[in-house]
Chain A
Amino acid sequence: EVQLVDSGGGLVQPGGSLRLSCAASGFTFSRYWMGWVRQAPGKGLEWVANINEHGDEEQYVDSVKGRFTISRDNAKNSLYLQVNSLRAEDTAVYYCARDSISRAYESWGQGTLVIVSS
């Protein structure tokens, strides 16, 4: 069974940083593109970033470029999102998701909440 477990969220001050993690199991992690999607409270979904199987190709939504970094460790079956220079508008539940050859997110984590507030 495919499982994605998100962690690392919390309360952080504006300008602060966090490292979000996603632990994957139940599939061959190194064969899949992976991504992060976020959802602000009471709002819809917003794609944040994607990374290829090998970790050498990254894609970002414009609003996080230069502040967020997606990475992975295939030996540890783990996906990461380093979030820096956080702003109030980054407050959201962050979900990791497994991408597919059909470019659809087939499996999702339960999400981890990031609150940016002073």
Chain B
Amino acid sequence: DIVLTQTPLSSPVTLGQPASISCRSSQSLVHSNGNTYLSWLQQRPGQPLRLLIYKISNRFSGVPDRFSGSGAGTDFTLKISRVEADDVGVYYCMQATHSKTFGQGTKLEIK
């Protein structure tokens, strides 16, 4: 089974500063069809889960360009260029190349 390991598990960030979350897979997430099915989701208190990024680096509809995704193979990163108060919550990576698995989540909080 694929294991996704996120670091850090908690990230205190100053408003207006960047934040970065890493997601490392126990196996390559490149599918036999050439696609890499790695996405990022946001869970804010009292809000429905929200898709931010799909297939490594594609922003979902309505997601601000402050959010960006990158990576390849087994190593992936979500970056927020300038953290806003509304970004507080838990962020999950999810792979769907081999069945589906989530990372354990990274809690983003304001310093």
| Interface positions of A (Cβ within 8 A of B) | 35, 37, 44-47, 50, 59, 61-62, 95, 97, 100, 102-110
- Chain B residue at smallest Cβ distance from A4: B48
Q: Tally chain B residues at the interface, Cβ within 8 Å.
A: 26
Total cross-chain contacts (CB, 8 A): 61
Selecting from B14-22, B79-87, B95-103, the interface stretch reads: B95-103
A103 touches B51 (CB 8 A): no
B102 touches A105 (CB 8 A): no
B92 at the interface (CB under 8 A from A): yes
B51 touches A106 (CB 8 A): yes
Q: Which of B54, B97, B103 is within 8 Å of A44, CB to CB?
A: B103
A74 to B97, CA, bound (A): 26
B49 at the interface (CB under 8 A from A): yes
A59 touches B96 (CB 8 A): no
